[in-house]
Amino acid sequence: MSKQTQAFNDGVVSIYKVGNISPSGNMPKEGLTFKVGPLRYEERIVGMGRFWSAMQAKARIDMVLRVPQLRGVSSQDIAIPNDGKQYEIKQIQYPPDVDPPVMDLSLERVDAVYDIA
């Protein structure tokens, strides 16, 4: 079987790590520090199966992005795509038979926005 060729034409996304952004000696404050990006992405459809599975787990999937594969990204990171909104990465999947290797990021919009360091 031939591999599906992937194009990333829908925009760019940057990945941030959540952590303490306050200066040393000050009260801790959670915020975002840059991790990787910008990565080009293709926006995918949130299918019915994925949508209802997330609802059963008391989560919601607002967006799915397909980006080039990087193993350093985790489900505890925050993604900021073209729309400028912050999304928590809820799940990362590595689909086979796609060239170049990719990962699908299932994203849930963050209600309380983090400050960026």
Domains and their CATH numbers in the chain: 11-109 (2.40.10.270)
pLDDT digits (tens, 9 = 90+) for 73-115: 999 999 999 999 999 999 999 988 888 899 999 999 999 899 9
- Residue 54 gets the label, from left (phi > 0), alpha (psi -120 to 50) or beta, of alpha
pLDDT at 63: 92
DSSP annotation of 112: S
Structure confidence at residue 55 as a pLDDT band (50, 70, 90): low
Structure confidence at residue 18 as a pLDDT band (50, 70, 90): very high
Asked whether the beta carbons of 47 and 61 are under 8 A apart, the reply is no
Q: Read off the pLDDT of each residue in 58-77 and give the average, rounded to a whole number.
A: 89
100 upstream amide cis, omega within 30 of 0 = yes
DSSP annotation of 68: E
pLDDT at 10: 84
| Cα 38–chain centre separation | 12
pLDDT at 76: 92
Structure confidence at residue 3 as a pLDDT band (50, 70, 90): low
Asked whether the beta carbons of 103 and 93 are under 8 A apart, the reply is yes
**Gap between the Cα atoms of 77 and 104, Å rounded:** 14
Asked whether the beta carbons of 65 and 13 are under 8 A apart, the reply is yes
What's the pTM? 0.82
